[in-house]
């Protein structure tokens, strides 16, 4: 056996024996590298005569071609084997029980907003929204709030920088400006609710600088406080899912309603829990009243022809009462553990027929 044939046999055997890409690359360098024995045969061709060079060169190139072909075949084989091993390792048994899906949670405020919207929609109230940055006029003047009213002071309200024309805008302190915008756009009669974010300079266990409110308004020819009482009773029954609700109206003062009333609901505070609809205690739950004539005029509605009621309540407070959430600040901490505990399945859509609490 010639030296060239012996080299060919050895190189082909080394390539075939390579167990992985690293070993195969080592064999390739040894067989085809610049300092390899095969390249040495090619360098020796210069010392031969023409005929011998042609014959020897053909033999060396034939061996080189076989080695390159063997290398390519072995590389493809290793790649195929690696793919087969990966597929075998990642094979799934489809007969096994599926893993529970990792689903997101609906925030309690979103859940309560949907519940409230469903309940009032059943009573004929439509939904309205407004900007969170309001003009001083929409937020205060049109709602019959005097210039010296405490809410118009900077320690209570977040004021924006004055505009070139001198007007001031604020982060709205309530959703009541939606009342003015709706009356100006649609006139009377009208019946709607307006949930949304509001802002006040306050922060403790029961207050935050940003929170959520719900305004409700109904304007008609013969709307009275009796209608207001019925609406609130039906709402609380449906929202808290109880059969009986007893309300107490206490005289109060709000610039945008006259007469005005704070509304309390009968409750039981024994055992460290609040149970509505029973007991001998009372819990303040919202503010309400008949819309002030000045507010109707600001909205372009004649108070001699139209009258109606308005009410406002905190959505955060409703969520705390219904779902036993003790600290208001948890709503805004962005803590996933808190949300997993208090959150709701996003597929549970509140309906009056199927229940509103999921």
pLDDT at 326 (0 to 100) = 82
pLDDT at 68 (0 to 100) = 79
Which pTM does this prediction carry? Answer: 0.67
- Specify burial of residue 47 (Cβ count, 10 A radius: 0-12, 13-18, 19+): exposed
Q: How many CB atoms lie within 10 A of CB 194?
A: 24
- Domain 108-342, CATH class in plain words: alpha beta
DSSP structure string for 294-327: HHHHHTT--TTT-EEEEEEEEHHHHHHHHHT---
Cα 136 off chain centre by? 31
Please give the structure tokens belonging to residue 52: 């011998």
Distance CA 267, CA 314 (A): 18
SS3 of residue 121 by DSSP:
helix
Domain ranges in the chain are 3-89, 108-342
pLDDT digits (tens), the chain, 358 positions: 467 677 777 777 777 888 888 887 787 777 777 667 767 666 666 667 667 767 766 776 777 777 778 888 888 888 888 888 887 777 766 777 776 665 678 888 998 999 999 999 999 999 999 999 999 899 999 999 877 767 666 567 888 888 888 788 999 999 999 999 999 999 999 999 999 999 987 766 666 788 899 999 999 999 999 999 999 999 999 999 888 899 999 999 999 999 999 999 999 888 778 888 888 899 999 999 999 999 999 999 999 999 999 999 999 999 988 888 888 888 888 888 888 888 877 766 666 555 566 5
Query: What DSSP designation does 353 have?
Result: T
């Amino acid at each position: 056996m010639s030296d060239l044939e012996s080299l060919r046999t050895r190189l082909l055997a080394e390539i075939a024996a390579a167990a992985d890409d690293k070993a195969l690359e080592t064999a390739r360098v040894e067989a085809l590298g610049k300092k390899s024995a095969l390249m040495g045969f090619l360098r020796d061709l210069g010392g031969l005569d023409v005929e011998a060079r042609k014959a020897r060169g053909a033999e060396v190139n034939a061996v080189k071609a076989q080695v390159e072909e063997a290398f390519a075949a072995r590389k493809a084989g290793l790649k195929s084997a690696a793919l087969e091993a990966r597929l075998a390792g990642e094979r799934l048994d489809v007969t096994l029980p599926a893993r529970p899906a990792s689903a997101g949670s609906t925030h309690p405020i979103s859940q309560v907003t949907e519940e409230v919207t469903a309940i009032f929609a059943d009573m004929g109230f439509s939904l309205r929204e407004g900007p969170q940055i309001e003009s001083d006029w929409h937020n205060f003047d049109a709602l019959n709030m005097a210039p010296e009213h405490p809410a118009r002071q900077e320690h209570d309200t977040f004021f924006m920088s004055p505009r070139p024309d001198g007007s001031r805008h604020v982060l709205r302190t309530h959703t009541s400006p939606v009342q003015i915008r709706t009356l100006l756009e649609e006139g009377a009669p009208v019946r709607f609710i307006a949930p949304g974010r509001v802002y006040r300079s306050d922060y403790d266990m029961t207050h935050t600088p940003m929170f959520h409110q719900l305004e409700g308004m109904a304007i008609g020819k013969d709307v009275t406080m009796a209608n207001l009482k019925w609406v609130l009773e039906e709402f609380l029954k449906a929202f808290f899912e109880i059969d009986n609700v007893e309300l107490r109206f206490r005289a109060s003062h709000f610039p945008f309603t006259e007469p005005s009333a704070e509304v309390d609901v009968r409750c039981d505070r024994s055992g460290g829990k609040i149970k509505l609809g029973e007991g001998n205690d009372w819990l303040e739950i919202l503010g309400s009243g008949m819309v002030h004539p000045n507010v109707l005029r600001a909205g372009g509605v004649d108070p001699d022809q139209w009258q109606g009621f308005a009410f406002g309540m905190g959505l955060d407070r409703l969520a705390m009462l219904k779902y036993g959430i003790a600290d208001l600040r948890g709503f805004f901490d962005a803590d996933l553990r808190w949300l997993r505990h208090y959150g709701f399945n996003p597929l549970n859509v509140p309906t009056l027929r199927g229940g509103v609490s999921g």
